[in-house]
Amino acid sequence: MRRITPIIGVAAAATAYLTVASLADITGSAHDFSGSVWANGEICLPCHAPHSVASPGAGPLWNHAVTTASYEVYGPDPGNPYPTAEALDEGSILCMSCHDGTVAVDAFGGGTGSFTITGDSNLGTDLTDDHPVGRSGEYPSHGGFVDPALWEDTAGHGFNLKEMIIDTVPTPVVGCGTCHEAHNRNNLDYFLWVDNAGSALCLTCHNK
Domain ranges of the chain: 4-203
For the segment 85-135, what is each residue's pLDDT rounded down to a tens digit? 999 999 999 999 999 999 999 999 999 999 999 999 999 999 999 999 999
The amino acid that residue 122 corresponds to is N
Q: Give the pLDDT confidence score for residue 187 in this predicted structure.
A: 86
Residue 33 has pLDDT above 90, yes or no: yes
**Percent of the chain surpassing pLDDT 70:** 86
Q: What's the average model confidence in pLDDT over 59-86? A: 93
Local structure of 112: helix, strand or coil:
coil
- Beta partners for residue 126, in sequence order: 72
Closest alpha carbon to 86 in 150, 27, 133: 133
- Beta partners for residue 164, in sequence order: 171
Q: How far apart are CA 171 and CA 70, in angstroms?
A: 20
Q: Give the pLDDT confidence score for residue 2 in this predicted structure.
A: 40
Q: Report residue 157's pLDDT band, with 50, 70 and 90 as the boundaries.
A: low
For the segment 162-205, what is each residue's pLDDT rounded down to a tens digit? 999 999 999 999 999 999 999 988 888 999 988 899 998 999 99
**Pair 133, 173: CB distance under 8 Å:** yes
Q: How far apart are CA 23 and CA 185, in angstroms?
A: 10
